[in-house]
Amino acid sequence: MATVELAPSPAPPAIVQPPRDRTSSWPLLDRIGYWACWATGIGLCVIAAAIVLFMLVEGISALRLNLFVESPAASLHQSQSGGFLDPLIGTFIVTAIGILIAAPLGVALAAWLSEYARPAGLARGVESAIEMIAGVPSIVLAIFGLIVFSQGFLGFLSQRASDGTVTAQSFLVAGIVMSLLALPLIVGATREALTQLPGRVREASFALGKTRATTLRCVLLPAVRPGIASGVVLGIGRIIGDTAIIVILLGATLKNEPVGNVPLLKTLRGSGSTLTSYIYNNSPAGEGNAPQKAYAAAFVLLMVVLVLNALVTRLSRGRSAGAVDWTMK
Amino acid sequence: MLGALAVGVLALIGLMLVTVGIDAWPSFAANGLRWFGSGGNVVTQFRAMHAGVALPGHSILYFRAWPLIWGTILVTVISVVIALVISTLAAIFLTEFAPAPVRRVLEPVVRLLAGVPSVVYGLIGILAIAPYVDEHLISNARKQSVAYVVQLNGTDLMTASLILTIMILPIMIALTAGALATVPASWQEGSAALGVNRWRTIWRVSLLAARPAIAAATVLATARALGEAIMLAMVSGGLPFAANPIDGLTFLFEPVQPLAATIVQEFGGQTTGPVASTIYAIALVLLVSAAFLSFAGWAVKQPLKRYGIGV
């Protein structure tokens, strides 16, 4: 029996590597473009680092612990003009009011837009309305708030001057208008999270006989909690950083000035200031002109913004690993 | 119930236009279309309104906004044009060239630049950049050449535009990079298979496909630049001066005062009467421009939907 010699299998053909596309082989113009890209990328990092370092150096040298616990005082000398306790409290109150209003409204709108959206024309209208609110400058929102809340019947939100006109300057008014700033961000983040939920989640719930509303409440909304949270954090960042609304609708006074005698409500109805308006007033552009105080407050504000930023990054990492959350401000 | 809420949002926009419109009407009615024209000094006009004494031969509401509008146009156009170039390059870098570690740094950096409050930008501008420009970039000869009309002190068109550029960059980078990332890989592969190098592929294929997104980003950034009030009130010079390109380079160092900043500057506590009406009129102009831009932003995004490229 003749054994059949197996022919040695032929050597696999050598893999031909195409020449790698190296930038050195590119025409000069293309190389210039390539290096310009690197330059802008590095340049942006340098600018951001410069801003943070500058504020760090100026801020830390101006920051004293007593600034946090002293109320501002009127004085020509920076050493006697007090701290920024009132603006800190003010920032907290305005942000709290704004988010308390914007969060439920924003989530509800997002839920309607992504789960119901009937009739289609109304949905499209609402979508563009929200987009428009996002595009309206905050100074215009402030003017709008000023006109609306100085109507006589809304006087309970702020205070009445002796001649009967309503000032339209109070924490309540500023907070309500601030909620318009946060609203588009919360709607956007929630809606994006809702559309990213796979359809089978809804189908499973419907198959169990749940109605649309129950599905939304018990299945969908709990599932998009991280999305809502990142929207809220973005909204907080937006509210904390806004100055125009504060200057016009909170008065940007030196101290928080309560109105009336009802505990809590008297602060809410009164005028006051926040960190941003404190910075503005203490900069050379404002009346106080105490740059050290402005630097210290700006440093605190920037640190808060950095923390919020880190929070958003973490929340968006948790939602979809590695995906970039390009949420606009 | 949710539907009612949706109707409410629509009503809000209408309410905004109507209320601001009604309160702004006296100013427009008194000045007609010449409200937008030039004539006289905005500072004197505001001072007359604050004092309640009409300028001789004019109504108490006499107002010519051209210097403010011109300042707005200058600041906006300069910063948007610079930002357009930088953001396109940065977006290409971010999506195509940046090695993973660099990208991990750059993304938070862009988000940080977007998150810095405008008042902090203004503070840095007025306390660090303006004095530098004043000392090192404006020569005394230049200051004297225009001393009879205006004082140059570093808070000027250039400083304002540069800081505004940095403020609008993040939006533009985000939108452009987002669109570049969703350009189908097969399009790039097709181009590469034809032997086109990477840069030209990006330039001629990806960027071309993302063109509507870049347009949308530009529109949004314009809206942001138009509405920026606090930073501009701090660093643009605070003087309603119509910077004149005939002055050559000095032009860049002349103060301006955009519309939004004017509202901040002229608003003081209980503003009523003619001043209020004029401020509301400025706000209405900004509101209508914002509405128009938001419509334009929607319109330029439409071609993208055909390819399924996200914005």
Chain A residue with CA closest to B8: the answer is A126
**Distant-in-sequence, close-in-space partners of B261: CB < 8 Å, separation ≥ 6:** B229, B230, B232, B233, B236, B238
Please answer yes or no on whether A247 and B9 come within 8 Å at the CB atom: no
Query: What's the rounded Cα separation, in Å, for the pair B260 and B227?
Result: 6
CA distances B283 to A143, B76, B280, Å, are 7, 17, 5
Residue B34 CB-density burial (10 A; 0-12 exposed, 13-18 middle, 19+ buried): middle
Which pair of structure tokens corresponds to residue A127?
A: 């979508």
Average pLDDT over residues B238-247: 75
Q: Which residues pair with A257 in a beta bridge?
A: A271
pLDDT of residue B55: 80
Please indicate if any CB of chain A lies within 8 Å of the CB of B32: no
Please indicate if any CB of chain B lies within 8 Å of the CB of A247: yes
pLDDT of residue A74: 75
Of A285, A294, A309, the CB nearest to B233: A285
Q: What is the largest CA-CA distance in chain B?
A: 75
For tokens 């997002």, the residue is: A110
Name the CA dihedral angle for B172, B177, B179, B185, rounded to a multiple of 10 degrees. 160
Of B2, B272, B291, the CB nearest to A132: B291
Of A21, A129, A276, the CB nearest to B119: A276
Q: How many of the other CB atoms lie within 10 Å of CB of B49?
A: 25
H or E stretch covering B185: helix B185-193
pLDDT of residue B303: 73
pLDDT of residue A322: 37
Query: How open is the CA angle B15-B16-B20, to the nearest 5 degrees?
Result: 115
Confidence of residue B304 (pLDDT cuts 50, 70, 90): low
Write out chain A residues lying below 8 Å of B272, CB-based: 165
Q: How many of the other CB atoms lie within 10 Å of CB of B298?
A: 16
**Within 13 Å, how many C-alpha atoms sit on residue B208's CB side?**
10
- d(CA A137, nearest CA chain B) in Å: 4
Please answer yes or no on whether A165 and B114 come within 8 Å at the CB atom: no
Query: What's the rounded Cα separation, in Å, for the pair A48 and B74?
Result: 25
Least confident stretch, A5-14, A106-115, B20-29, B200-209: A5-14
pLDDT of residue A329: 32
Q: Would you call B38 helix, strand, or coil by DSSP?
A: coil
Q: Which of B230, B298, B311 to mutate to test the interface with A (most CBs of A within 10 A)?
A: B230
Q: Which residues of chain A have pLDDT under 70?
A: 1-6, 17-21, 76, 79, 318-329
Please indicate if any CB of chain A lies within 8 Å of the CB of B53: no
Prediction ipTM score: 0.89
Which pair of structure tokens corresponds to residue A28?
A: 């000069």
Q: What does pTM read for this prediction?
A: 0.88
Closest CA to A130 of B44, B9, B282, B200: B9
Please answer yes or no on whether A44 and B106 come within 8 Å at the CB atom: yes
Query: What's the rounded Cα separation, in Å, for the pair B89 and A299?
Result: 31
Please answer yes or no on whether A241 and B6 come within 8 Å at the CB atom: no
Please answer yes or no on whether A135 and B93 come within 8 Å at the CB atom: no
Size (chain B), residues: 311
Write out chain A residues lying below 8 Å of B6, CB-based: 109, 112-113, 122-123, 126
- Percent with pLDDT over 90 in chain B: 29
Please indicate if any CB of chain A lies within 8 Å of the CB of B23: yes
Q: Which of residues 169-228 of A touch B (CB under 8 A)?
A: none
Chain B residue with CA closest to A160: the answer is B270
Which pair of structure tokens corresponds to residue A184?
A: 């588009």
Average pLDDT over residues B196-216: 89
- d(CA B57, nearest CA chain A) in Å: 30
Please answer yes or no on whether A37 and B108 come within 8 Å at the CB atom: no
Confidence check: pLDDT of B310 > 60: no
Q: Which of A55, A94, A139, A186 to mutate to test the interface with B (most CBs of B within 10 A)?
A: A139
Contact A194, A225 (CB under 8 A): no
Please indicate if any CB of chain B lies within 8 Å of the CB of A303: no
CA distances A183 to A179, A193, B9, B113, B155, Å, are 6, 16, 10, 21, 34
Least confident stretch, A101-110, B170-179, B263-272: B263-272
Residue A286's φ and ψ, nearest 5 degrees, are -95, -165
Contact A279, A304 (CB under 8 A): no
Chain A residue with CA closest to B237: the answer is A285
Of B12, B124, B198, the CB nearest to A54: B124
Q: Which residues pair with A271 in a beta bridge?
A: A257
Helix A138-149 vs helix B211-227: crossing angle, to nearest 10: 50
Contact B181, B94 (CB under 8 A): no
Least confident stretch, A7-11, B184-188, B268-272: B268-272
Average pLDDT over residues B211-229: 90
Average pLDDT over residues B113-133: 91
pLDDT of residue A48: 94
Please answer yes or no on whether B102 and A52 come within 8 Å at the CB atom: no
Name the CA dihedral angle for B92, B95, B97, B102, rounded to a multiple of 10 degrees. 120
Q: In this complex, how many residue pairs, one in chain A and one in chain B, have their CB atoms less than 8 Å apart?
A: 259
Confidence check: pLDDT of B120 > 70: yes
Q: What is the 8-class DSSP label of residue B182?
A: T
Please answer yes or no on whether A44 and B3 come within 8 Å at the CB atom: no
Q: Which residues pair with B256 in a beta bridge?
A: B237
Contact B129, A76 (CB under 8 A): no
Write out chain A residues lying below 8 Å of B19, CB-based: 144, 147-148
| pLDDT tens readout for residues B60-92 | 888 888 889 998 999 999 999 999 999 999 999
- d(CA A108, nearest CA chain B) in Å: 6
Closest CA to B298 of A106, A124, A324: A124
**Distant-in-sequence, close-in-space partners of B148: CB < 8 Å, separation ≥ 6:** none
